[in-house]
A and B are shown apart, each in its own frame.
Chain A
């Protein structure tokens, strides 16, 4: 469980950094608060990904299994 949590958090850090760079660039281009506002938004983005990284990974796995099962179910219904 602890391992899962740490893997999820580590993935959250990576996803957060990538997302934050997009947010930073967009805020810099569109926001009225300049670089301070862009940094603030980027920091929040990383923080949220770190906080929820493990949950996001859990939902992703549940979704992946669900999608696979529903695809199998659909095929079974279509098969003669």
Chain B
């Protein structure tokens, strides 16, 4: 079945990835329908916890050709970003193609996907309907909407309240109480800071420390200058398709990246005063080197004041496992017992795609570290099925916009996929490469993070575009030292492929 002739596309999810996909495909003349379970668009941005927001500077987290307004704060608050997505949907005429409050209840491949996909959906309480599409795009993100709360012994004995951080819509529900927050990612530290403003006491319990990324390096230079340029990209673990130069740098040149990352660690230790001890006497300095640790999913840019709160006691940190619950207490592997009235689990989301039928799951694989895709977009055994938004980077709005452009160019026939065996081999090599050094978690298959530059380069090369986007007299120097951000790709996402 020719991709070019078949132009009817279903997109599941109207978050950033779904909107970017629909906008791009509609502009290329595809007939696109977007199904969104919630009653408003925006995905994770439609319904966040109290005071949630974007953790990176706004120029890193916006659509490449639709910049956030100058009067918006540098770290965009969640509701403001959701409003920005609403405006995006109107500006690019995506809204008429979105069906809100519509649950996709099933998807079925026709002739294994070769003849497209049948999508069954239900709007509100109306009867289920089924429609045929030539292509199906899953844009529901990395995780399901089901909160992950670990099983803990004695849970039934606990007389206080247990909530997931996604239920924390107002800090008032924490007022005057003894709170324990479990986790050490961005949402956990946000919840602890919210609690510290109103609660009687706040404990933050985590079993692993992570290197925090400061908003500004040494309090002065935005972190993008230190982390999102090609020089830094060359100093991390070489990409699986790295060229001769990168391999040399990490061979005979190994002392150079080593000394660079030790200097980064020193800077982070001094800036955040990580020598601070937890309440159970453990160090906040992670065991894992920063160049590996920054590929952990829990990498975070904490809100200012977090580490000060540790030091002044308004948040009491414990580096330990939660081993059990009692009536009004939690017990830790360190032997400590904490008296608490409410526990906030900021432990993430379950990782499932339960709308996919078993035969699709079988082909995607059921590995513990999630499924791996060719270019983080497709599985060669599932024709006409694409995942947009299954690649975690620091600049996800940009990444999803580029993925959407890649898909549009593929469907238009600008380029062809490599042979089936070649894609299978590429996926196998990616598995091997990531498992050799990248920290484990249930979505490792989709993790890109600091390798985003190589990933963006790769997908641009696929449709024949020069990956070097810096312009001007000093372009060669800018390529090396200047950070890459959304605006560098503004012409690409509009289809101006130069």
Contacts and interface: CB of A to CB of B under 8 A. Distances in A.
B255 A60 contact: yes
Interface in B474-495: 475-477, 480
A36 interface: no
Interface residues of B, number: 21
B466 A60 contact: no
A62 B245 CA distance: 21
B461 A48 contact: no
B480 A48 contact: yes
Given A19-B245, A30-B466, A44-B476, A66 B255 contact: yes
Given A63-B255, A66-B255, A22 B244 contact: yes
Contact of A30 (B258, B461, B476, B477): B461
A64 B476 contact: no
Nearest to B467: A30
Contact of B258 (A27, A40, A66): A66
Contacts of B498: 32
Interface in B7-66: none
A32 B243 contact: no
Contact of A56 (B244, B256, B468, B480): B256
A67 B255 contact: yes
A48 B152 CA distance: 57
Contacts of B254: 63, 67
B124 interface: no
Nearest to B474: A44
B476 A62 contact: no
A31 interface: yes
Interface in B256-283: 256-260, 262
A40 B468 CA distance: 14
A40 B467 CA distance: 17
Given A30-B468, A31-B468, A44-B477, A66 B244 contact: no
The A interface is mostly helix, strand or loop, or mixed, namely helix
A32 to B, nearest CB: 6
B112 interface: no
Interface string A16-49: 0001001000110011100000001100110010
Nearest to A57: B256
B253 interface: yes
A7 interface: no
A70 to B, nearest CB: 8
Nearest to B253: A60
B239 to A, nearest CB: 15
A59 interface: yes
A66 B257 CA distance: 12
A41 to B, nearest CB: 5
A63 B259 contact: yes
Contacts of A56: 256
Contacts of A66: 255, 258-259, 262
A22 B248 CA distance: 13
B430 to A, nearest CB: 23
Contacts of A62: 255, 259
Contacts of B245: 19, 22
Contacts of A30: 461, 466-468
Contact of A63 (B258, B475, B480): B258
A59 B468 contact: no
Interface string A50-80: 0000001001111110110000000000000
Contacts of B477: 44, 48
Q: Which 5 pairs across A and B sit closest by C-beta, in order of nearness?
A: A63-B255, A63-B259, A44-B476, A64-B255, A63-B258
Interface of A: 19, 22, 26-27, 30-32, 40-41, 44-45, 48, 56, 59-64, 66-67
16 contacts: A19-B245, A22-B245, A27-B468, A30-B466, A31-B466, A40-B476, A44-B477, A48-B477, A56-B256, A59-B259, A60-B253, A60-B259, A62-B259, A63-B256, A63-B257, A66-B255
Given A26-B243, A60-B256, 16 more contacts: A22-B243, A30-B461, A32-B466, A32-B498, A44-B476, A48-B477, A59-B260, A60-B255, A61-B255, A62-B255, A63-B254, A63-B255, A63-B258, A64-B255, A66-B258, A67-B255
